[in-house]
Amino acid sequence: MNEKNIKVLIVDDFATMRKVIRNLLKQVGYEDIVEAEDGVMALKALKSQKIDVIVSDWNMPNMTGLELLKAVRADPELAKTPFLMVTAEALQDNVVAAVKAGVNNYIVKPFTAEVLNEKIKKIMDSINK
């Protein structure tokens, strides 16, 4: 699957952070990017369009990344959507909780465009098998 055809949804309450991730994605060839400022908006975005992968922050107001993940997995229409969790630290408790809830992978801030791309690619490869 080509980067150009992968539609990424970035979820983060911090606008600058969304821009950071967007820029990184662009650097490695992603073009189709949408953003949501929290879990609630993300669910809305997911309902209205086909998203190929969610890149979501862990710590957000209203609905945390974990809650968003659980909501996505609980929704029959969205359940299969690949989910990449962005965390500030690789705190084992948090990561394991996310993994148990069905996260496809996680990435620790700060990360480079290459690592981000690699993680997304890995997810896309595994689900397209």
Residues that bind another protein in the complex, under the rule CB under 8 A: 12-17, 19-20, 23, 57, 59-61, 88-93, 95-96, 99-106, 109-110, 122, 126
How far apart are the C-alpha atoms of 13 and 38, rounded to whole Å?
Answer: 6
The answer to whether residues 54 and 83 touch, using CB atoms and an 8 Å cutoff, is: yes
Q: What is the CA radius of gyration of the chain?
A: 13
How far apart are the C-alpha atoms of 111 and 69, rounded to whole Å?
Answer: 21
Give whichever of 49 and 88 is closer to another protein, judged by the CB atom: 88
Measured from the CB of residue 77, what is the shortest distance to another protein in angstroms?
Answer: 19
Give whichever of 29 and 61 is closer to another protein, judged by the CB atom: 61
Measured from the CB of residue 28, what is the shortest distance to another protein in angstroms?
Answer: 15
Measured from the CB of residue 43, what is the shortest distance to another protein in angstroms?
Answer: 20
Structure tokens at 43: 């669910």
